[in-house]
Structure 1
């Protein structure tokens, strides 16, 4: 059972009720192919767009649920340009180019469905005129550009081991004068080091870490069984290898998991937390893991380091020793195009290695 997917499906089912009927129909159409997390983002994008339409007087609807197809049909190109401008310059904490591109793609997907796929009772398209067909959405996520942004913001070479060591020992020295922080650290350091170690030695996504259960571990064969992103088959878990280096952290955490966190037998989650005021341990959340990594990273001197950048750190290190196809499989990418970022990230590392070899 994919815990994150269940939570997102619940939120999606709740929020889609406040959408127009044709959006609800679109979400039902996409549900077999896209994850609830992706569809929830679609709904959030439509909430923002319909809210803007109403605020600009381009829809007379009293709420988002009553926006009509006719109001979408008569939108002009200058309205779409205005909305894009709104996203880039008039929203608090302006959206990045990548975010704007994603939001516009969400709209284009909806308009395409309404004009090309969905039909009324007379077999005509629900939307007779598709303004979004005129909108060009440029590809933003170029591997080389992504690599340039990541350089200097991930762990390299010996830093992978140093970061795990810092969680186990160094952080405690840095906060020894803060009794509350020190207490929390000593309670959780084995667990936190295990999480960081597994990501740095397998490349798991944070959602995959959250969903791990005790039964998903095969220590003898260094395997984890995970629900991979994009795989909607709830009966299948993908085997993912982890390096030998993680075994010590994993064993140390498992030795204290039940007693220290007062974890009941019915709780199958691998990584658990014991929140203040609670009598039993329960599955850690995605947000808790993200905050935990940021806490250690800031003290470690890598303030830009996040859970996802730990995954990038593993992937860069792994790619130096393997080809792009093995890296793609290990990371669970849908295509090698996504994996290409590591060919650019390792350019400098490879050139440095050549220079070091020439000095010998």
Structure 2
């Protein structure tokens, strides 16, 4: 199991006992098919829903664990409408339309399982009435809309190389009066440039970068072996190619990895850092990589740039030279529908991309 999955599985195991027995049963049922991170999101969604039921007086339970199936059975459509309104207007952080849709979808999955799949000792459904079956959840994440939001917020053409060059040199010049920033930059600039270059030349997700081990790198063949999102076979790593450009940064960084970060032999991580107060290097976290890219992006004059937008930048550039199917495979998308975003981000049409595939 990869590093992020191990962490999420531990959090899932910790949080699950606070759920009613029937939700625990549902999570066990889904465990072979969904990643721990997805199931953890499910549990958080259910925790919010059950807390809302109790706060609204729709459940008499004193804790979420004690909310009964009978209380779910008698919910009216007005209650679900009320919950949807709560999600879109709650003061402690508003949810986007996509987030609301996802939270309702996770509820619908639970109710479907309880009413159509799970059964009691007499072979009757655990839930006799499914109010969520009446709820229409409209698709809100359309490729064309996503593309419109990304327009002007990704790196294009020569900017890809400029950003890597800025991490190596420009940032240090801009921070010349900040001794702390200069010290950190001198220590980490080759590593940071390597991470940015790898994403911009392969399209890896940040979680995939975090999980990389030193043994996953085949520098000569410009190849990495990656745990891909959605693949629940814990023993299989997908081969992913990277461009020649990233090979240079990887060669430089891997030579520095041991001597500069004092990574012990037992540390398998490709990308490491030395935490404050410690002497040995350890695996970088997802949050650390995200914060690092944001730091450089702001100084570079593109404060909207994130790790995921680096992935979008690669994908758009890659799609200009390849068809939609090759782009889908390179990015590890489950379907070409997700990859359509990059057709809308370029001047090419979907039909042109498909026809070229047939040549």
User: Is the TM-score greater than 0.5?
Assistant: yes
Mind listing any 5+ residue stretches in structure 2 that lack a counterpart? 350-359
Separation (CA, whole Å) in 1 of partners of 2:49 and 2:347 = 41
2:222 aligns with: 222
Q: In structure 1, the residue corresponding to 2:315 is in which secondary structure?
A: helix
- Structure 2 counterparts to residues 36-115 of structure 1, below 5 A: 36-115=36-115
Q: Check conservation: 2:202, 2:243, Cα contact below 8 A.
A: yes
1:271 is the counterpart of 2:274: no
- Structure 2 counterparts to residues 331-350 of structure 1, below 5 A: 331-347=331-347
Moved over 6 A (4+): none
2:315 aligns with: 315
Separation (CA, whole Å) in 2 of partners of 1:290 and 1:276 = 18
2:302 aligns with: 302
Q: CA deviation at 1:156?
A: 0.5
1:356 aligns with: none
After superposition, the C-alpha distances for 1:300-356 in whole angstroms (9 at most, x for unaligned) are 11111111110000000000000000000000001000100100011289xxxxxxx
After superposition, the C-alpha distances for 1:99-127 in whole angstroms (9 at most, x for unaligned) are 00000000000000000000011110000
2:205 aligns with: 205
Q: In structure 2, the residue corresponding to 1:136 is in which secondary structure?
A: coil
Separation (CA, whole Å) in 1 of partners of 2:90 and 2:315 = 37
Separation (CA, whole Å) in 2 of partners of 1:195 and 1:346 = 25
Separation (CA, whole Å) in 2 of partners of 1:10 and 1:26 = 18
Separation (CA, whole Å) in 1 of partners of 2:233 and 2:248 = 32
2:280 aligns with: 280
Q: Check conservation: 2:219, 2:251, Cα contact below 8 A.
A: no
Separation (CA, whole Å) in 1 of partners of 2:323 and 2:88 = 38
After superposition, the C-alpha distances for 1:156-187 in whole angstroms (9 at most, x for unaligned) are 01000000000000001111111111111111
Separation (CA, whole Å) in 2 of partners of 1:225 and 1:183 = 33
Mind listing any 5+ residue stretches in structure 1 that lack a counterpart? 350-360
Q: CA deviation at 1:252?
A: 1.1
- Structure 2 counterparts to residues 219-258 of structure 1, below 5 A: 219-258=219-258
1:5 aligns with: 5
2:31 aligns with: 31
RMSD: 1.2
1:192 aligns with: 192
Separation (CA, whole Å) in 2 of partners of 1:49 and 1:340 = 33
1:131 aligns with: 131
The total of aligned residue pairs comes to 350
TM-score, length-scaled by structure 2: 0.96
TM-score, length-scaled by structure 1: 0.96
Q: Check conservation: 2:8, 2:36, Cα contact below 8 A.
A: yes
Deviates more, 1:57-66 or 1:268-277: 57-66
1:140 aligns with: 140
After superposition, the C-alpha distances for 1:249-272 in whole angstroms (9 at most, x for unaligned) are 111111111011111000010000
